[in-house]
Amino acid sequence: MRKLRGVISNSILAVALIVSVPLVASAQPSRLILDFPDLSGKASETVDVALDGSMLRLAAGFLSSKDADEVRIRELVRDLKGIYVKNYSFDKEGQYDPADVQRVRAQLTGTWQKIVNVKSRNRAGTSEDVEIYLQNVNGRIEGMTIIASEPKELTLVNIVGPIDLQKLSALEGQFGIPEGLSGDAPRKDGSQ
Amino acid sequence: MAAVMESVIAFGPDQSLDSPVWICGDFAAVVERHERMVFSIAMNMLGRPSEAEDLSQEVFLQLYRHLAEIESDSHLLHWLRRVTTNRCIDHMRRNRITSVSFDSIPEPPSSDRAPDPLLPDTLRTLMATLPPAQRALLVLRYQEELGPGEIASVMGVPLSTVKSNLHRALNSLRKKVNVSSRRVV
Amino acid sequence: MDLEQELKQALRRVDPPEGFVERVLVRIENESSATVSQNSFGPFPRLVPRWVATGLLAASIGAVALGLGTYRINRLAGERAEGIRARQELLLAVRIASQKTNLARTAVQKTSFELR
């Protein structure tokens, strides 16, 4: 009888765990805290894009329906709830603390999974590390985070909502934005 | 009015027609999206840029006052074509912009086979000799590429009238082109 | 000569002069002010001569209308500017995200090719 009771209580525990997993999963935030006030002060250039759902819809309304790339972008962001990007460029190496990056990684637990970690080196010998995380909630991609770190540059991207990674990477350099981050970038160094 | 604008006008500047999703935008974006069509209708009917611009502005002013009546994107397009065409016809009748001297028509080249770079100008000038309603028909047919049924709906006239007037306008224009060619040869 | 084809060519759409949209907005603003200041204002207490009352009320309505008109046009221009800025930010954000994912994808593809 005691054995039976133990089986039952174990089963209840198992059921409770199974039931609680989706609850925990859905509670995991897709939007991360990407706030580094110290870095903005040290960076020679800062790009800060914060588009929530309503701003995304507004922006999508101003995309061209004649330009094939902008049509693809509109399609890509249709169901997104937010896009947040921070890009810091520094004059010298070692101006950002790896602990800052670690603060972002610390948020990527639970339903977040690291799918890629690339350490590359370009011809000039500069290293660039790219980590890509996807948030998988009940088999659905609900978010993406990119951490790209170079000695003089740190980029953090947080996309909230279902995103197609393949379509996103296929867009690179395709939609008429000048190379480099000048021009359209909402810079905070007053150089705009 | 401001509240009306917020609820009715919800286009981006460049969305495809009849898009089921009306995304937040503003009246300026609506003007920007349709300015080319409205101005071109006015320009092709009146022939004078300053008058065409003035009339086009009035069309958009009228649209601003009647925003609450606009039900959809295709309705907006139809409304703009109708109002612009009617205003142009009224304007021409009031100002009697009907007669153009043949001396002012550019001379076409003598060879029939060679492409004629002046022909578009010649046609526009010859069109100015047609009655206002026939001019409107040609603009809706060849600028906006509307079918006779759509033209009838925009101009508020029977389909048979559109067909017969279109036929008449083309014949008239063809004769004028031939006459102007013979004068040069 | 194909007359219909030539007509299509001759009557193709053309761009309006530069600044057309802005001029339309200015006319809307002017008209909004004028329309409101022309409105009748109903019964007015006969404590002051009617022409004084009319003048005062017309002046205040005119001032309010002018303010409202300016506010409306400013708001329209503001909404439009916000939309254009949001579009630029979106293009920039997608470009950065795309660049980084593409870098990772290329590196992964290169590695798997080298492992073969």
Q: How far apart are CA B161 and CA C66, in angstroms?
A: 47
Q: Do A57 and B24 touch (CB under 8 A)?
A: yes
Does pLDDT of A163 surpass 70? Answer: yes
The residue ranking higher by pLDDT, B65 or A161, is A161
Q: To the nearest 10°, the Cα dihedral for B146, B142, B10, B3?
A: -90
The residue ranking higher by pLDDT, B153 or C55, is B153
Q: Do A146 and C101 touch (CB under 8 A)?
A: yes
Average pLDDT over residues B123-137: 89
Q: What is the pLDDT of residues B154-181, one digit of tens each?
A: 998 889 999 999 999 999 988 888 776 6
Q: How far apart are CA B177 and CA B112, in angstroms?
A: 12
Tell whether C107 lies on the interface with A, counting CB pairs under 8 A. yes
Q: How far apart are CA A46 and CA A111, in angstroms?
A: 30
Give the pLDDT band of residue B72 (cuts 50, 70, 90).
confident
Looking at chain A, which runs of residues are DSSP E strands?
Answer: 45-52, 82-89, 112-121, 127-137, 140-150, 153-160
Nearest residue, CB atoms, C28 vs list B37, B61, B170:
B61
The residue ranking higher by pLDDT, A86 or A37, is A86
Q: With beta carbons under 8 A apart, name residues in chain B contacting C64.
A: none
Give the pLDDT band of residue C56 (cuts 50, 70, 90).
low
Q: Which residues contact A187 (CB under 8 A, 6 or more apart)?
A: A45, A46, A47, A181
Q: What is the pLDDT of residues A20-53, one digit of tens each?
A: 344 444 446 788 888 887 888 888 888 889 999 9
Distance of CA A44 to the CA centre of its chain: 23
B118: left (phi > 0), else alpha (psi -120 to 50), else beta?
alpha
The mean pLDDT value of chain C amounts to 73
C-alpha gyration radius of chain A:
21
Alpha-carbon distances of B121 from A183, B136, C3, rounded to whole Å: 41, 17, 13
Tell me what pLDDT residue B4 has. 30
Does pLDDT of B8 surpass 60? Answer: no
Q: How far apart are CA A91 and CA A152, in angstroms?
A: 7
Does pLDDT of B109 surpass 80? Answer: no
Give the pLDDT band of residue B93 (cuts 50, 70, 90).
confident
Nearest residue, CB atoms, B23 vs list A61, A64, A66:
A61
Average pLDDT over residues A77-87: 93
The residue ranking higher by pLDDT, B67 or A88, is A88
- The answer to whether B103 touches B180, Cβ cutoff 8 Å, is no
Q: Do B36 and C11 touch (CB under 8 A)?
A: no
Q: How far apart are CA C77 and CA B31, in angstroms?
A: 12
Tell whether C59 lies on the interface with A, counting CB pairs under 8 A. no
Average pLDDT over residues A87-104: 90
| Residue in C4, A162, A78, A17 with CA at minimum distance from that of residue B123 | C4
Tell whether A141 lies on the interface with C, counting CB pairs under 8 A. no
- The answer to whether A24 touches A164, Cβ cutoff 8 Å, is no
Q: How far apart are CA A127 and CA A149, in angstroms?
A: 8
Q: What is the DSSP string of B7-25?
A: HH----TTPPTT-S---S-
The residue ranking higher by pLDDT, A167 or C41, is A167
- The answer to whether B89 touches B136, Cβ cutoff 8 Å, is yes
Give the pLDDT band of residue B102 (cuts 50, 70, 90).
very low
Most confident of A37-41, B78-82, B100-104, B110-114: B78-82
The mean pLDDT value of chain B amounts to 76
Q: Do B16 and A65 touch (CB under 8 A)?
A: yes
Q: What is the DSSP string of B80-119?
A: HHHHHHHHHHHHHHHHTTT---GGGSPPPPS-SSS--TTH
Tell whether C11 lies on the interface with B, counting CB pairs under 8 A. yes
Tell me what pLDDT residue B185 has. 39
Nearest residue, CB atoms, C6 vs list B57, B119, B141:
B119
Q: How far apart are CA B22 and CA C102, in angstroms?
A: 32
Tell me what pLDDT residue A35 has. 81
| Residue in A47, A44, A134, A131 with CA at minimum distance from that of residue A85 | A47
Average pLDDT over residues C7-20: 91
The residue ranking higher by pLDDT, C49 or B28, is B28
Tell whether C85 lies on the interface with B, counting CB pairs under 8 A. no
Does pLDDT of A170 surpass 70? Answer: yes
- The identity of residue B72, as a single letter, is S
Tell me what pLDDT residue B31 has. 92
Does pLDDT of C104 surpass 90? Answer: no
What's the predicted TM-score (pTM) here? 0.45
| A87: closest chain C residue by CA | C96
Q: With beta carbons under 8 A apart, name residues in chain B contacting C38.
A: none
Q: What is the pLDDT of residues A137-148, one digit of tens each?
A: 988 899 999 999
- The answer to whether C72 touches C29, Cβ cutoff 8 Å, is yes
Q: What share of chain B is helix, strand, coil (3-state, %, to 5)?
A: 70, 0, 30
Taken in order C77, C83, C89, C92, is the CA torsion positive or negative? negative
Q: With beta carbons under 8 A apart, name residues in chain C contacting A73.
A: 90-91, 94
C-alpha gyration radius of chain C:
29
Length of chain B as a residue count? 185
Percent of chain B exceeding pLDDT 90 equals 39
Tell me what pLDDT residue A149 has. 93
Report the neighbours of B using a cutoff of 3 or more CB pairs below 8 angstroms: A, C
Give the pLDDT band of residue B114 (cuts 50, 70, 90).
low
- The identity of residue A179, as a single letter, is E
| Of the candidate ranges A39-43, B48-52, B89-93, B116-120, the one whose mean pLDDT is the lowest | B116-120
Q: With beta carbons under 8 A apart, name residues in chain C contacting B36.
A: 13-16
Tell me what pLDDT residue B19 has. 32
Which single residue is written with the structure tokens 């029977």?
Answer: B158
CA distance B72 to chain C (A): 21
Q: Do A118 and C93 touch (CB under 8 A)?
A: no
A88-111: buried (b, 16+ CB within 10 Å) or exposed (e) per residue?
bbbeeeebbeeeebeebeebbeeb
C-alpha gyration radius of chain B:
19
Give the pLDDT band of residue C52 (cuts 50, 70, 90).
low
Tokens of A99: 């602990």
Nearest residue, CB atoms, A184 vs list C82, C91, C103:
C91
Tokens of B148: 């006779």
Does pLDDT of C18 surpass 50? Answer: yes
The mean pLDDT value of chain A amounts to 76
